[in-house]
Amino acid sequence: MKNLILLIGLFSTTLCFSADNNGDDVPTKRKRVPPTRRVYFAESAKKHDGVRPEKILKEMLIYAYFEKQCIKSKEDIAKLIEDKKISLPKKSLIEISEELDGLVVQIEEQGTVSVIAHATGGVHMLEACHKAHLSWLITLFKAYIETVSDPE
C-alpha cells in the first residue's frame, strides 16, 4: 500500500493522499482537468470558408465569357466547370442562372452593373451594350444545366 492514492474532488483542485514510507498519508494538490468541450454549429451555419462556390462560379462564367471569350457553347461551360473542379448540385446551378437573370434586370433598370470578381481580383462593369451578350450566356448556361443530373 505504498502508493495508495485516494482522490477527493474539491472545487478546481483535487487532493491526493499517498502513503509515504512511514505509512502516513501526505496530501498533495493536483489541478483538475476540465471536461472536454465541444462546439456545435446550427444546421443553418455555413459549411465553407471564404466566398461561396456559387458566387465563384458566377464570377468565373462572366469573366470567361466577357474577358477571356472562351465560352461559345454549353460544352465550353462544362469544360470550364470540370477544369476548375467545381461540383455543385443542380439546385445551386439554377440559383446561379436566376442571379444572372437578376443582372439583366439590373442592367435594364440602372444602365450599368458592377460585378466584383473575387477569383480574379477585378471588377467587371456590365453596361446596356452587354445585355444581349449576358442573355446569351444565360441561355448557354441554362442549356448546360439541362445536361446535369443530381447524384441519387
Digitized pLDDT (tens) for each residue of the chain, 152 residues in all: 444 444 444 444 455 555 555 655 556 666 777 778 788 778 777 666 777 888 889 999 998 998 889 999 999 999 999 998 888 999 999 999 999 999 999 999 999 888 876 656 678 788 999 999 999 999 999 999 999 987 65
pLDDT number for residue 131? 93
Sign of CA dihedral 141, 101, 65, 57: negative
Cell of 59: 464570377
pLDDT number for residue 53? 84
Q: What are phi and psi of 96, to 5 degrees?
A: -65, -45
- The string of DSSP letters for 74-102 reads HHHHHHHHHHTT----HHHHHHHHHHHHH
Cell of 23: 505509512
pLDDT number for residue 122? 73
